[in-house]
Amino acid sequence: MNQPRPRAVGIDLGTTFSAVACLDDLGRPQTLNNGEGDKLTPSVVFFEESEIVVGKEAVKAISTAAAQVAECAKRDLGNRMYEKVLGGRQYPPEALEAWVLNKLRIDAEHQIGAFDKVVITVPAYFDEVRRKATQDAGYMAGFDVMDIINEPTAAAIAFGFQQGGEHAIAAADGMCRILVYDLGGGTFDVTVMEISRDQFVTLATDGDVRLGGRDWDQRLVDYVAEEFIRRCGVDPREDPNTEGRLWRECEDTKRTLSARSKANVACDYKGQAVRLEITRQMFEEMTRDLLDRTAFTTRQTLQAAGLQWSDIDRVLLVGGSTRMPAVCEMLQSITGKELDRSVSPDEAVAHGAAIHAGLLLERHHGQAPRVTIKNVNSHSLGVVARDSATQRQRNAILIPRNTSLPVAAKRIFKTHKASQKSILVQIVEGESASPDDCSQIGKCSVRELPPGLPADTPIEVGFRYAENGRLTVTVSCAGKELCHEIQRDNSLTQEQLASWRQYISGR
Ligand code: AMP
């Protein structure tokens, strides 16, 4: 008997909010509501004594039990531990992300039945370590992560799908060049792509994994707190619960300021209360430098793609923070173009992920691929080498950023002395010449080189980025593979992952 084909499910795992979409019977993406009936689930985890609560209820706890609440764990991916101690212990950030994903899975299963195959999105600017951590979080939540896909690429796919194909979106040469400006809760990405009905090709990407709506909130929080100190002599941020309430108030005020020219924010602490009127102009002035950073990166990305503004057909806005009027004004002024708001900024990424999941499932069932997706690497890949002139360690770049994926590179290392027993290759991502300023991916070490090798024996180290930005490394000598594993400092072992999976998802 034929097995029913698995549902195509895509997940936008956001810093502040997450969303799940699934293809309906006609192959159209639909956002699934969570257990509370909302399309967006706050990516917040509350450790309530023996229970772990995720989403809206966890957000409420920020005002009363802030010390037990984990927010923005996505920003800590790639670190060994999440910054905060929760319920007496520290957790790896991917475990906190896994709890968010687990809630999304349980809620989605109530609507579409059991499933495990998913595509999860990541910021285009995520480095390899964060990409792996996201895949690991998916595994720990009980999923079979078929792929990870860049958020702007997913948004572009949703856009292409919605426009109904080539005739609607393509310029005269059959291609449409789009710039995707994606400002979410915690990350910023800008990506230039060429798209047609069946091809999504990234030309250049740049961004900041620590810049998003949250930073705009922080400015308001700090402004109100400073004003409170000036008037009342105490800092409301010294108490975590008061600070938590203030954050919620400020985020709400920020949203109001997207629709109105002024809003009020209230703060009370230690029996004293302050109510402030904030105008949109004040808010824009206190956050101008954040916006300028995104403008700078946007111009740079266009340049990296080798294009002018006149080459861009559409500017696509993605991410909840693009609702701020200042974002549109800035983009209109630097691009000289009308902005495209045709995709829902909150749902486009999840929709694109679901469409990608559908295409992957078709391919698993032997159907010819209908769409080609081509990405670039967002960070240069290098190895740590010793500069012969200065004897200092430096980053020897092997694959420069914005190289089309998949891509392979190799480097020959030579043994220094006869009968050398081991070699060590340290792998980094980043643009800096100093390895200390780069992201440390890990090491590839061979401890048992074949015995009796003469000095200067070539050892070949091969690097390969897959389409989704994940890296594999192989070390070989005289055509024989000696090693294909990267030892990662900040990553969980397979046994740890399996045990977290059992603990979090029961699978
Ligand atoms: P996303 O990660 O795309 O869901 O974006 C979430 C971010 O968008 C959060 O920082 C929200 O505060 C922000 N956001 C959502 N709606 C608005 C709005 N109307 N005005 C300003 N920011 C918003």
Task: Give percent of the chain above pLDDT 90.
Answer: 88
pLDDT tens for each residue of 494-506:
999 999 999 999 9
pLDDT tens for each residue of 258-286:
999 999 999 999 999 999 999 999 999 99
CATH 2.60.34.10, the chain: domain bounds = 381-483
Q: At 86, is the secondary structure helix, strand, or coil?
A: strand
Q: Which of 104-118, 163-177, 226-240 has the lowest mean pLDDT?
A: 163-177
Q: How confident is the model at residue 168 (pLDDT cuts 50, 70, 90)?
A: very low
**What is the per-residue pLDDT for 167?**
36
Is the pLDDT reported for residue 463 higher than 90?
Answer: yes
Residue 85's alpha-carbon distances to 90, 92, 317, 490, in angstroms, are 5, 11, 36, 18
* CA 52 to chain CA mean position, Å: 24
How far is Cα 319 from Cα 314, in angstroms, rounded to an integer? 16
**What is the per-residue pLDDT for 484?**
85
Query: How many Cα neighbours within 13 Å face the side chain of 227?
Result: 17
Q: Is 186 touching ligand 1 by the criterion CB < 6 Å?
A: no
Q: Which atom of ligand 1 is nearest to the CA of 345?
A: 3
Q: How confident is the model at residue 162 (pLDDT cuts 50, 70, 90)?
A: confident
Token digits of residue 347: 């749902």
Q: Are 193 and 153 in contact (CB under 8 A)?
A: yes
- Average pLDDT on 345-370 reads 94
**What is the per-residue pLDDT for 390?**
87
Query: Of 446, 463, 459, 460, whose CA–CA distance to 382 is shortest?
Result: 463
- Average pLDDT on 246-251 reads 97
Residue that the structure tokens 């499910």 belong to: 9
Q: Is 131 touching ligand 1 by the criterion CB < 6 Å?
A: no
Q: How far is the CA of 211 from the centre of ligand 1 (A)?
A: 13
φ, ψ for residue 177, nearest 5 deg: -100, 125
Q: Is 335 exposed, middle or buried (0-12, 13-18, 19+ CB in 10 A)?
A: middle
Q: Are 140 and 500 in contact (CB under 8 A)?
A: yes
Pairing assessment for the beta strands 372-374 and 9-13 based on DSSP bridges: unpaired
CATH 3.90.640.10, the chain: domain bounds = 213-286
Is the pLDDT reported for residue 1 higher than 60?
Answer: no
4 or 326, which is more confident?
A: 326
| Mutation test residue for ligand 1: of 211, 255, 321, the one with most atoms within 8 Å of CB | 321
In CATH, the architecture of 213-286 is: Alpha-Beta Complex (3.90)
Is the pLDDT reported for residue 448 higher than 50?
Answer: yes
Burial 237-269 (b: 16+ CB within 10 A, else e): beebbbbbbbbebbbebbebbbeeeebebebeb
pLDDT tens for each residue of 194-236:
998 889 999 999 999 999 999 999 999 999 999 999 999 999 9
How far is Cα 174 from Cα 298, in angstroms, rounded to an integer? 25
Cross-strand pairs, 37: none
**Helices 151-163 & 348-364 angle (0-180, nearest 10):** 80
How far is Cα 482 from Cα 446, in angstroms, rounded to an integer? 7
Nearest CA residue ID for atom 16, ligand 1: 320
Q: Is 214 touching ligand 1 by the criterion CB < 6 Å?
A: yes
Query: Of 348, 373, 9, 401, whose CA–CA distance to 180 is shortest?
Result: 348
Q: How far is the CA of 214 from the centre of ligand 1 (A)?
A: 9
pLDDT tens for each residue of 54-84:
999 999 999 999 999 999 999 999 999 999 9
How far is Cα 507 from Cα 498, in angstroms, rounded to an integer? 9
Helix and strand numbers, DSSP H then E, in the chain: 12, 26
Out of 107, 127, 182, 251, pick the active-site residue. 182
Q: Which of 164-173, 369-378, 399-408 has the lowest mean pLDDT?
A: 164-173
Q: How confident is the model at residue 173 (pLDDT cuts 50, 70, 90)?
A: low
Is the pLDDT reported for residue 172 higher than 70?
Answer: no
- Catalytic residue list contains 417: no
Question: Which amino acid is present at 30?
Answer: Q
Task: Give percent of the chain above pLDDT 70.
Answer: 98
Query: How many Cα neighbours within 13 Å face the side chain of 477?
Result: 23
**What is the per-residue pLDDT for 391?**
86
Is the pLDDT reported for residue 389 higher than 90?
Answer: no
**What is the per-residue pLDDT for 87?**
86
Q: At 467, is the secondary structure helix, strand, or coil?
A: coil
**What is the per-residue pLDDT for 324?**
98
Q: Are 325 and 279 in contact (CB under 8 A)?
A: no
Mean of per-residue pLDDT scores for the chain: 94
371 or 329, which is more confident?
A: 329
381-483 CATH fold: Substrate Binding Domain Of DNAk; Chain A, domain 1 (2.60.34)
For every residue of 324-380, DSSP letters joined together read SHHHHHHHHHHH-S--B--S-TTTHHHHHHHHHHHHHHHHHTTPPPS-EEE-B-SS-
Q: How far is the CA of 340 from the centre of ligand 1 (A)?
A: 17
Q: How confident is the model at residue 483 (pLDDT cuts 50, 70, 90)?
A: confident
**What is the per-residue pLDDT for 166?**
38
Q: Which of 3-12, 372-381, 399-408, 469-478 has the lowest mean pLDDT?
A: 3-12
Which helix (DSSP H) or strand (DSSP E) does residue 208 occupy?
A: strand 199-208
Q: Is 488 exposed, middle or buried (0-12, 13-18, 19+ CB in 10 A)?
A: middle
**What is the per-residue pLDDT for 154?**
96
